[in-house]
Amino acid sequence: MADQCLFCRIVRREIPATLVAETADCVAFRDINPQAPVHVVVIPRKHVASLNEADDPQLVGRLAVVAAEIAGREGIASSGYRTVINTNADAGQTVFHIHLHLLGGRRLGWPPG
Ligand code: 5GP
Ligand code: ZN
């Protein structure tokens, strides 16, 4: 599965992406179809299909910590931002490699659509 996984391929640099952060466990890059002025996707290097398959709380936590660090660098920590993990069909997950969206730089509606 990981062979053909789009985000695994980004981790392996087989597909280009605009990287904004790299740690030992995580990679973050700008979303190709941004929904806000700042729209970054944070992923683990390890292939995990979705939150349903995630069994490492530290790894899931690190996605959030990396997102907060990027929010600071992007200048949206004070104004505010949203972090989202879409899981399966009802949430609109389209890439089955767990990822945390970091969205900010504009007023975000609530509840989400
Ligand atoms: P999901 O809908 O699964 O929660 O989020 C997948 C996200 O990945 C979408 O926001 C989509 O725009 C983004 N995406 C899909 N393919 C690529 C790609 O090749 N490069 C980058 N940078 N983002 C992608
Ligand atoms: Zn993957």
Which residues are tagged catalytic? 99
In this predicted structure, what is the pLDDT of residue 2?
84
Rounded CA-CA distance 49/78 in Å is 32
How big is the chain, counted in residues?
A: 113
Rounded CA-CA distance 49/37 in Å is 27
Assigned token pair, 81: 């931002």
CB of 65 sitting under 6 A from ligand 1: no
| Closest ligand 1 atom to Cα of 29 | 22
Q: Edge-to-edge, what's the strand order for the sheet holding 26-30?
A: 19-22, 26-30, 38-44, 100-104, 81-84
CB of 95 sitting under 6 A from ligand 1: yes
| pLDDT tens profile 2-59 | 899 999 999 999 999 999 999 999 999 999 999 999 999 999 999 999 999 999 999 9
Q: Would you put residue 79 in left (φ > 0), alpha (ψ -120 to 50) or beta?
A: alpha
What's the pTM value of the predicted model, to 2 decimals? 0.98
Terminal Cα distance for the chain, rounded: 30
Which ligand has its closest atom nearest to the C-alpha of 90? 1
